[in-house]
Structure 1
Amino acid sequence: MMFFGLSLMGLGFFALRWVSSLTMLYVVFLGLLAVGSSFGTGRPLQVAAANWFIRKRGRAMGLLMSGYGLGGSLVFLFAMLIENVGWQTAAVVAGLVMWGVGFPLITIIRHKPENLGLLPDGDDPSESSTQAATSSTSSQEPVSVEPESHTVRFWQRDPRPELDLSTWQAVRTRAFWMMAITYAVFAGVPGITTVHLAPFLAEELGLDYVLAVAALSGFVFASVFGRIGFGFVADYVNIRILVAFLLLLVSATLYLFSTIETLSQVPAYVILFGLAYGGIIPLRGVLQGYFFGRTS
């Protein structure tokens, strides 16, 4: 799947060189780049990370998604390349880099640890077998009806084992549709803001084009710390409360964006928005695992 997706993405970058109309641009972006990205990068990698980690899923997702942030923070280099050689040649270079780096890496990716005789979170298979045997023996003994005496505060992580629903079962839950709507709005509103950040700085505030793109790179770089930091936090706190907090923080930073009038206000906005925006990105995979498990 990832080989197919990366192949489409590389072809999409190559095809940009011959784009001469808006229709062709849409065909290349939607038919090659968008489809290729879906098959070759985001979803397959997040599914693999969710399969390999349960207790440490938050930090795994955070570290995984930080790679996207680190790559995005280098976009100013691509802007400099465009200024020097033109966007058509730069697109071809991007396609070659995509293939040269991506193809070797996907050869070492495995869908789940069980395919290699391992367990999630690096657990020892022999210990797991021992625990299963102990549970089987203890199940034949009288079971106390007294509940376990442990208290979990509202902000702490739920210690109960996660559910393991099929895809059809997951789609029928209220949690699935609430997540779908929430992340659709998140992708539409803050996502559009990031697209227009560099043009706004260049056209409205008079910032040099390369510096405006560098500010966008700074936003993405700040998001790396949000992805890693809040990914680690997600392993210890109530994931639903954490996501709600970050969504409120993103909303506040969007309001701050509408009040920017001078260049001196830009760094604070870029850092705060980057941290909040980056924090939400890896938590989608954590939420999906929390509500639906690994099967779906």
Structure 2
Amino acid sequence: MKKIFLFLAVAGTFFTSCSSDDDSNDGTPVTPGATAITLTSNVATVALGGSFTFTVTDNLAANVTTTSQYFVNDVAITSNVYTPSAVGTYSVKAKNGTLTSAVVTVTVTAAPVVSPSNSFVLNNTNYETPVVGFGFRGIYEAGTAGQYLILWDFNPYKEVGSGNSATYPNDLYLTFALPIVPTGQDADGEPTFTILFPTVADFSWNSTTLPTLLDAYVISNNVALLPEDADERAALIADVSLNITAIQFPTDTSTASNLAATYSVTLNDGKVVQGQYSGTTGYYDATGAKAAKMNVAPKNVKLSKGKMHLAKK
């Protein structure tokens, strides 16, 4: 009985060793009689983020892809599909049993840079914004008595549907302030104003002089990039810019409008939103939460005094 047990133990060790050799591709080729293998790639070049798929055949025309092992720059990979993580040139070879293929060279190029066109770009993804409107946010008394600010939202967006059922999957707001002076007084002695519309200008983030950008909010594919709380947003924003190079509002239904602008929002974590628009434009009332075309509550703007005066044309 001891001899039989010893024989079985030795036999078990032998078969285990053979199995391990097969798994490591150190044995004979899978196809008996094969003397060479050829490695090919489905493509020679991909942009970063793409993948290569490798195929191996032997000199007897047998496909031995699934039984071969692959090496990229002499480092084994787990399958015949390889997704590089960096730009560069890679040397690939395959082994099948005792056979090794010739080296195949593949190249990875930088991913093409997406440029905005009536859209904004985030993480190299383009988000269409075929409409830009200006939302009137109201007139506020500034920190110095007798000085006032008029606030506007620069608002590129994509509208899906219409009316009360409309949604805005891509929706960006840049709130900016312009100086404005009263044009009269009401019966209670409160100042009244004639609305001052945006003009050609460069707006910078939290400038000490007017005009200046005060806030930003970005929704891409129905996902908010920034929180709704104004203080939390401000803590995440590194820089915002808006450059309006041409603007004309319609004076009635028969007159044309025109707008050309570029803009960007840079966050402290390195994310950058870059946008461009060229086309018609218009304006809407954004002084209340129920204002038309507003899918977020009006944003809080930190001013020394928050007294709002109803604008009168």
Q: Normalised by the shorter chain, which TM-score bucket?
A: under 0.3
Larger Rg: 2
> Which structure features the higher share of helix residues?
1
Highest RCO, 1 vs 2 (Cα 8 Å, sep ≥ 6): 1
The TM-score, its normalising length taken from structure 2, stands at 0.18
